[in-house]
Amino acid sequence: MRRGSEAVQGGARVRAVVRGAFGAACAVLACACDATITTAEPCAARAAAGERPNVVVFLTDDQRLDSVPGVAPEYMPQDLMPTVRDALIAQGVSFTQAVVENPRCCPSRASFLSGGFFSHNTGVLTNTWPNGGARRFDDRRTLATLLKRKGYTTVLIGKYLNGYNQLGGSDGEGNPIPPKHYVPPGWDVFICVTSSGDWRAYEIVVGAGQKRSATRGVLLPSEASDLPAYLEEAASRGFPPSVASYLLSLDPANLPHVTDFERVVAVRAAKDLMRAGNAPFFINVCLEAPHGPATPPAQDRDRLPGFEFRSRAWGEDNVRDKPRDVREAAELFTEYYAGRLHLTNDDRLPDEFFADQLRCLPSADRAMADVLGTLEGREEWRERTMYVYASDNGLLWGEHRLFDKGKPYEECARVPLVIRGPGIAPASVSAPVYANIDLAPTILEWAGYAPSRIVSDGMSLTPLLTDPDAAWREEVLLQVYYRGAHEDIREPGCAAVRGERWKYIEHDTGELELYDLLADPFEARSRHGDDGPEYADARAHGAGIIAAQRGLTALTDRRRDGSLKAGFVGVPYEITLPATGGTPPYHWSLDAESEFPPPTGCEAGLPPGLALQDDGRLAGVPQSEGCYEFVARVEDESVSPQHGGPQRHVRSYRVYVGIE
């Protein structure tokens, strides 16, 4: 939604901006205009007048909120990120209740890169095809292309979107672009790291893009011989020369640690852009750390000896109040700590993996320190540069006996967010904001777009920086989508509403959760079944918001194995495939693009004699017994403000046919 709209999610109320120390930080946005300015509002005003600030975005991967200095000193080490602590948190505005709407890597990143849209409007619902991944992202209108319209030089370094290795297409002249060569529209410089799990043996896609069309890049190290000619041509279009020389100097047999590579490229890009005077510029540094495999650089491997994590709701004794998928996953909890199951492709126990994630943070901090030092070493750049530091989502470390992300719990959804720069006084803001969806329209406003012209599901954060009494939304919507294949049935989707006190969760299975976050911040006891007017009011309020705002979701019968009701040979059969959210009516069809693995023990396709209708009715007379698995796609009547198409969701369905 646009800032200034009356449709403020969940209503609006005055929220105070609390001055003082930061209580939760991990995304830093610093807008620097004029050192004499005492509020952030003149920064946006100057942008509208044509004096647009530079923007540098640092995005870490799977970084937990409590790993940031100052958030959890009682159980987390505090010396891993001194630049974040001293140069950013201590001097910035901190948003202590920031979340990401869909806590998985690709959906979260797509929401930011799109310009600030919910997952159901980007179409990137999960990390993988057919409901997500890079191929599902429509890159014709993005933050990069919008900034190009305002004259920005745009640079992306590091991780792009999950599934990038499968992304191909064609350039502006119709020439094919094979996978691992795709340079999206809008990026003048595209240095994409594609890691196969080894942070010393990765591939790099080097590209010099176009404003409106994709282009073909060069893949390193396999095409190193093509790189000199490519960079010579790119130099004529402003490709940073010291970045080019560094790429040409790389030894494919001895690549630097991936975070060190990203750091050096970012510093060189910043220096080259400063020398060329190509302001304004937008540099997006997407660090691999601390995502798995979480391989620390040599200088950090010996940190945190004997680290153990036993805080928050780790190893929760009683998960009977949680939905079935959580209860079933929790049964395997002790297997990981006994070494019979592993979180990674090696034999590390959970605590060692968690420690390695923390050990990766100093290298990310050094990257920020070097870029900050480069740009802030000269006053004219210090006064016209904006910095962003964020994480795409958090990660469970055994809370509720779970590992991984993609859950509606605090450890997955909450990420830190800080805005820092000359003229912005240190503060702490408790309003519920989206770190990715709200951040994008904020950047666009500072780049000179009038708030009334910014099309986004987010709200520019400018009011909260300029007015302690600014009206704001009271709660945020969280969504997690079922990935679609039948084997994913143990990870159903959900929608949740998170406010200052209550978090209400509706699962695709029909199960509910309700948490009083003030009394139970670690979500150890769900109150969804408790009696009393306050619980009933919280359930009704959350259910109403989800009914009005949830994205389109294909459902299935609520059987334990996720299958539809069984049929019998020669007996008429009819069922309507269920869906929720989006904008009805729904339209169903068989999907031939899913690329799900072949079903195990079942035949692929509809049972002979059955047909799927547009309205979702699966009807007919089964002709042969067996197990059948088919893939269906549902679309609604909405029109996405990001890509112009409807919402869609794809999932597999299983039907058993017997003989009476």
Q: Which of 2-16, 31-45, 157-171, 262-276 has the lowest mean pLDDT?
A: 2-16
Q: Give the pLDDT of residue 25.
A: 34
103 with 129, same domain?
yes
Tell me which residue of 384, 388, 410 sits closest to 399, measured CA to CA. Answer: 410
Same domain, yes or no: 431 and 560 = no
Number of domains in the chain: 3
- Whether residue 521 is found in the same domain as residue 372: no
**Who wins on pLDDT, 561 or 521?**
521
Residue 654 located in a structural domain: yes
Choose the final residue of a domain: 422, 442, 473.
473
pLDDT band at 492 (very low <50, low <70, confident <90, very high): confident
Q: Is the pLDDT of residue 420 over 90?
A: no
**Residue 549 corresponds to which tokens in the numbers above?**
């705002």
Indicate if the pLDDT at residue 18 is higher than 70.
no
Residue 2: pLDDT over 50: no
> What is the CATH number for 190?
3.40.720.10
**pLDDT-derived band at 191, boundaries 50, 70, 90:** very high
Same domain, 290 and 393: yes
pLDDT band at 17 (very low <50, low <70, confident <90, very high): very low
Residue ranges making up the domain that contains 164: 16-317+343-473
Say if residue 21's pLDDT is above 90: no
Distance of CA 500 to CAs 70, 430, 437, 452, Å?
Answer: 21, 9, 19, 28
* Domain-located, residue 327: no
For 344-391, write each residue's pLDDT tens digit.
888 999 999 999 999 999 999 999 999 999 998 888 888 888 888 889
Q: Which of 391, 388, 390 is nearest to 444 (CA)?
A: 388
My answer on whether 544 and 433 are in the same domain is no
pLDDT in tens, 549-597: 999 999 987 666 778 999 999 999 999 999 999 999 999 999 988 888 7
**Residue that is last in its domain, among 518, 535, 551:** 551
Q: Which of 124-138, 308-322, 377-391 bottoms out in mean pLDDT, i.e. has the lowest?
A: 377-391
Question: What is 304-362 written as a DSSP string?
Answer: STT-----TTBT-S--TTS-HHHHHHHTTHHHHHTTSS-SSSS---HHHHHHHHHHTHH
Read off the pLDDT of each residue in 213-230 and give the average, rounded to a whole number.
96
Query: For the residues 169-181, what does the mean pLDDT come to?
Result: 95
Q: Region 306-335: what's the mean pLDDT?
A: 95
- Residue owning tokens 């600014």: 470
pLDDT at res. 486: 66
* Whole-number CA gyration radius for the chain: 25
Q: Residue 57: is its pLDDT beyond 60?
A: yes
Orientation of helix 361-376 relative to helix 350-359, angle to 10°: 10
Is pLDDT above 50 for 184?
yes
What global pTM score does this model have? Answer: 0.92
How much of the chain, in percent, has pLDDT values that exceed 70? Answer: 90
User: Could you give phi then psi for residue 444, rounded to 5 degrees?
Assistant: -65, -40
8 within a domain of the structure (yes/no): no
Whether 4 maps to a domain, the answer reads no
Strand-strand pairing, 403-404 and 396-397: antiparallel
pLDDT at 620 over 90: yes
Q: Which residues contact 106 (CB under 8 A, 6 or more apart)?
A: 124, 126, 127, 132, 133, 134, 137, 161, 162, 163
Cβ(183)–Cβ(216) below 8 Å: yes
386 and 529 co-located in one domain: no
Name the DSSP class of 128: S
Final residue belonging to a domain, choices 439, 473, 507 = 473
CATH code of 569's domain: 2.60.40.10
Give the separation between CA 269 and CA 284, rounded to whole angstroms.
11
Which pLDDT value is given to residue 378?
A: 83
Q: What DSSP line would sit under 556-615, residue for residue?
A: ----TT-PPPPEETTS-EEEEPPEESSSSSPEEEE-S---PPPPSSSEESPPTTEEE-TT
Write the pLDDT tens digit of every residue in 70-108.
999 999 999 999 999 999 888 888 888 999 999 999 999
Residue 324 lies in a domain: no
Note whether 414 and 277 are same-domain residues.
yes
Residues 298 and 382 in one domain: yes
Task: Please indicate, yes or no, whether residues 394 and 507 belong to a single structural domain of this protein.
Answer: no
pLDDT band at 45 (very low <50, low <70, confident <90, very high): low
In this structure, are 517 and 612 located in the same domain?
no
Residues 532 and 567 both lie in one domain? no
443 within 8 A of 436, measured Cβ to Cβ? no
**Whether residue 500 is found in the same domain as residue 559:** no
pLDDT of residue 10: 33
Mean local confidence (pLDDT), 524-544 = 97
Lowest mean pLDDT among 2-16, 286-300, 310-324, 596-610: 2-16
Query: Is residue 40 in a domain?
Result: yes
Where residue 38 falls among pLDDT bands split at 50, 70, 90? very low
